[in-house]
């Protein structure tokens, strides 16, 4: 089965799932618009998350393997917050990527996204920026998919050779990324798309927060940031929720909403965008129970994707190495998916589950924390021995009235991306197969095998022909499905086989056809998307039959 990103992106545009933002003006890089079907799909992803994590969560039932019962509540906080929030959270000082500019192509690249490999070609050389020539250079590509092949074609381009000479390239070492070689070697790198070596600048830090201005004056004092994560809206409201909602530890506060990051090189469709939506849980618990809760959430979130149809072969749970951990994190695991834009065996992050300790609440209380010489988290000080970034000074501790103890809760954070999850569900659903047409001839079809909970359209209703009362009966069934709250489509144009194919391509699990027998025996054909099996169902039972199948 050929599941390529190119085909998935084309289908998304063709069928109205996802469009390039501002396309008629040439597009705005890193921003995407969801079309009618994409909107339904993403809403279903979000709703499934909110339903499974919050509204359907029953705190009276002890969850399997969990240390105790717990409550889950939601908040919806503003996109813009007090600038001090980002100073204490660490985003102001630490939320940056390393980037380089290319003097030749004028492009800007994230260091860890430039794939490079050292190469030479017997007797040939590549020009350096200063006019001198080099026998051996690093060639580069920004591609994730088939990057080895891309590097080969870049090497041939650099040495001015045709494809047939590929086996005369002499590779020195394996492919790596630009952040893994010393800066002194940058002078022998041919940057992505460049023709000469040594045109990349020294690496620089680039803060990923998007700046905006509040109010009419527009001075530096009015600068603010669009939130780069929804999590901080939860931390700064921790006390409000405890005081107003009578929640008791352990409990989770959840939020779904937009976040913004000035990604240097947004790419791979919606995977890395500048505006995206997150679905985050901050789970507050006693420090002595936090290790158990961390494992609980990590495993639960991993299972959630599988329950919604992601195959275990394409999903991994990867514990971070110590050097990968964020400044606040005591332990983190990523849930990763084998996106088709990656090479075989490579996975991309879908969700991070982090043990954040008491970093966030303490920072917002006392001032930004950092690790001291002994490796302990302590309030970071400036040259005058004062907090580098002042906290709120508010008491964000929790009083456990059963244990008669006051402490700062620890936090486990399962942080998912709604757009990334939607992309993974799109990629997972894509299949091509062969099915017999009306005359029994095998025809290839593209079918989006979404989990029924996620499918944007749950059922399509067709009159077989546009007469003999069939359109009227079909419209009646359509109305009943709609009244039951099911998103559905009505289609009467084209051969029935073509109508099935069109619905398969958008992942509609069930098609209902009103035909010649409907008037006499009161039944319709119900066709299943995946098996293409057709059964007869009574018109009076069709809504219930579909609802039951969707919920099974």
CB under 6 A: which stretch of 80-88, 271-279, 399-407, 470-478 binds ligand GAP? 271-279
**210 three-class SS:** strand
77 near ligand GAP, rule: CB under 6 A: no
- The answer to whether 344 and 373 have CB atoms below 8 angstroms apart is no
Q: Is 422 in the site for ligand GAP (CB under 6 A)?
A: no
Instruction: Please state the φ and ψ torsions of residue 152, each to the nearest 5 degrees.
Output: -65, -45
Q: Which of 262, 278, 489, 508 binds ligand GAP (CB under 6 A)?
A: 278
How many residues make contact with ligand GAP (CB under 6 A)? 19
Distance CA 547, CA 453 (A): 11
Q: How many CA atoms lie within 13 A of 536 on its CB side?
A: 7
Shortest distance (Å) from residue 425 CB to ligand GAP? 13
Closest separation between CB of residue 281 and ligand GAP, Å?
10
Comparing every residue's Cβ against ligand GAP, the nearest one is 417
Task: Name which of residues 37 to 66 contact ligand GAP (CB under 6 A).
Answer: none
Minimum distance from CB of 31 to ligand GAP (Å)? 11
Is 94 in contact with 149 (CB distance < 8 Å)? no
Nearest residue (CB) to ligand GAP, 420 versus 527: 420
Residue pair 496/462 in contact (Cβ under 8 Å)? The answer is: yes
By CB under 6 A, is residue 18 in contact with ligand GAP? no
Binding span for ligand GAP by CB under 6 A among 70-78, 156-164, 391-399, 410-418:
410-418
446 three-state secondary structure: strand
231 binds ligand GAP (CB under 6 A): yes
Taking residue 477's Cβ as centre, other Cβ atoms within 10 Å add up to 23
Rule CB under 6 A: choose which of 97, 263, 336, 515 binds ligand GAP.
Answer: 263
What is the distance between the alpha carbons of residues 154 and 180, in angstroms, rounded to a whole number?
20
Beta strands 488-490 and 459-463, pairing class: parallel
Give the one residue of 87, 117, 272, 501 binding ligand GAP; rule: CB under 6 A.
272
Restricted to residues 338-367, the positions that interact with ligand GAP (CB under 6 A) are: 349-352
Region for residue 220 given its phi and psi (left: phi exceeds 0; alpha: psi -120 to 50; beta: otherwise): alpha
Nearer to ligand GAP, 189 or 353 (CB): 353
Does residue 17 bind ligand GAP (CB under 6 A)?
no
Q: Is 229 in the site for ligand GAP (CB under 6 A)?
A: yes
Tell me the closest approach of the beta carbon of residue 459 to ligand GAP, in angstroms: 31
- Number of other CB atoms surrounding residue 291 within 10 Å: 16
- Is the sign of the CA dihedral 376, 379, 381, 385 positive or negative? negative
The residue (of 304 and 478) whose beta carbon lies closer to ligand GAP is 304
Distance CA 510, CA 49 (A): 24
Per DSSP bridges, beta strands 442-448 and 430-436 are antiparallel
CA atoms of 115 and 102, how far apart (whole Å)? 15
Contact stretch for ligand GAP (CB under 6 A) within 235-243, 314-322, 415-423, 456-464: 415-423
Give CA angle at 258 (19, 262), nearest 5°: 80
Give the residue among 461, 434, 438 at the shortest CA–CA distance from 446: 434
- Report the distance separating Cα 549 and Cα 410, nearest Å: 41
Pattern of binders to ligand GAP over 302-341, x per CB under 6 A? Answer: ----------------------------------------
Q: Is residue 417 near ligand GAP by the rule CB under 6 A?
A: yes
- The 10 Å Cβ neighbour count of residue 25 is 7
Residue 487's nearest CA partner among 424, 530, 550, 426 is 550
> Which value, in Å, is the radius of gyration of the alpha carbons in the chain?
28
Indicate the DSSP class of residue 267.
B
Write down the least CB distance from residue 368 to ligand GAP, Å. 16
Q: Which residue do the tokens 């390239």 mark?
A: 169
CB of 354 to ligand GAP, least distance (A): 7
| Residue 15 vs 420, nearer CB to ligand GAP | 420
Least Å distance between CB 419 and ligand GAP? Answer: 5
Binding status of residue 452 toward ligand GAP by CB under 6 A: no
CB of 382 to ligand GAP, least distance (A): 26
Beta-carbon contacts of 91 under 8 Å, excluding residues fewer than 6 positions away, are: 209, 225, 228, 229, 232
User: Interface with ligand GAP includes 261 (CB under 6 A)?
Assistant: yes
At a CB cut-off of 8 Å and minimum separation 6, what does 163 contact?
153, 156
Nearer to ligand GAP, 147 or 276 (CB): 276
Residue with smaller CB distance to ligand GAP, 143 or 255: 255
Q: Candidates 109, 286, 420, 451: give the one binding ligand GAP (CB under 6 A).
A: 420
Does residue 91 interact with ligand GAP by CB under 6 A?
A: no
Rank residues 255 and 508 by Cβ distance to ligand GAP and give the closer one: 255
To ligand GAP, the closest distance from the beta carbon of 229 in angstroms equals: 4
Interface positions with ligand GAP (CB under 6 A):
229, 231, 261, 263, 272-273, 276, 278, 280, 349-352, 413, 415-417, 419-420
């Amino acid at each position: 089965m050929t599941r390529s990103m190119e085909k998935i992106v084309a289908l998304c545009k063709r069928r109205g799932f996802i469009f390039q933002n501002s396309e008629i003006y040439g597009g705005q890089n890193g921003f995407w618009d969801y079309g009618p079907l994409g909107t339904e799909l993403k809403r279903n992803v979000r709703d499934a998350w909110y339903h499974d994590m919050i509204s359907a969560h029953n705190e009276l039932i002890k969850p399997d393997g969990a240390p105790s019962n717990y409550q889950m509540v939601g908040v919806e906080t503003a996109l813009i917050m007090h600038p001090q929030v980002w100073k204490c959270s660490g985003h102001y000082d630490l939320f940056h990527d390393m980037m380089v500019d290319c003097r030749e192509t004028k492009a800007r690249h994230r260091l860890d996204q430039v794939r490079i490999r050292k190469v030479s070609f017997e007797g040939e050389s590549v020009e350096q920026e200063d006019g001198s020539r080099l026998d051996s250079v690093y060639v580069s590509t920004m591609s994730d998919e088939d990057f080895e092949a891309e590097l080969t074609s870049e090497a041939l381009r650099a040495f001015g050779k045709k494809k047939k000479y590929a086996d005369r390239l002499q590779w020195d070492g394996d492919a790596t990324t630009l952040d893994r070689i010393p800066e002194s070697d940058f002078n022998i790198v041919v940057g992505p798309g460049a023709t000469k070596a040594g045109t990349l600048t020294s690496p620089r830090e680039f803060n990923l927060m998007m700046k905006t201005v509040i109010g009419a004056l527009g001075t530096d004092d009015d600068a603010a940031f669009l939130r780069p994560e929804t999590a901080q809206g939860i931390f700064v409201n921790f006390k409000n929720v405890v005081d107003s909602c009578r929640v008791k530890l352990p409990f989770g506060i959840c939020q779904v909403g937009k976040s913004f990051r000035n990604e240097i090189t947004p790419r791979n469709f919606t995977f890395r965008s500048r505006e995206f939506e997150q679905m985050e849980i901050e789970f507050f618990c006693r420090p002595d129970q936090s290790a158990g809760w961390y494992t609980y959430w990590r495993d639960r979130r991993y299972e959630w994707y599988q329950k919604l149809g992601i195959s275990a072969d394409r999903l991994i749970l990867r514990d971070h190495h110590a050097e990968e951990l964020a400044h606040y994190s005591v332990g983190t695991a990523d849930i990763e998916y084998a996106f088709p834009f990656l090479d075989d065996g490579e996975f991309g992050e879908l969700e991070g589950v982090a043990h954040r300790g008491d970093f966030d609440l303490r920072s917002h209380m006392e001032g930004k924390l950092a690790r001291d010489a002994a490796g302990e988290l302590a309030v970071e000080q400036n040259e005058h021995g004062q907090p580098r970034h002042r906290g709120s000074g508010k008491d964000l501790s929790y009083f456990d009235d059963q244990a008669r103890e006051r402490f700062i809760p620890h936090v486990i954070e399962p942080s998912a991306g709604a757009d990334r999850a939607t992309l993974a569900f799109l990629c997972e659903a894509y299949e091509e197969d062969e099915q017999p047409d009306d005359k029994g001839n095998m025809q290839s079809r593209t079918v989006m095998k979404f989990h029924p909970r996620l499918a944007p359209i749950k059922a399509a209703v067709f009159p077989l022909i546009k007469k003999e009362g069939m359109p009227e009966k079909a419209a009646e069934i359509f109305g009943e499905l709609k009244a039951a709250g099911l998103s559905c489509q009505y289609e009467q144009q084209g051969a029935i086989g073509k109508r099935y194919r069109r619905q398969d391509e958008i992942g509609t699990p069930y098609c209902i056809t009103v035909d010649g027998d409907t008037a006499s025996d009161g039944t319709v054909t119900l066709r299943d998307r995946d098996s293409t099996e057709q059964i007869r169902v009574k018109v009076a039972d069709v809504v219930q039959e579909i609802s039951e199948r969707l919920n099974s």
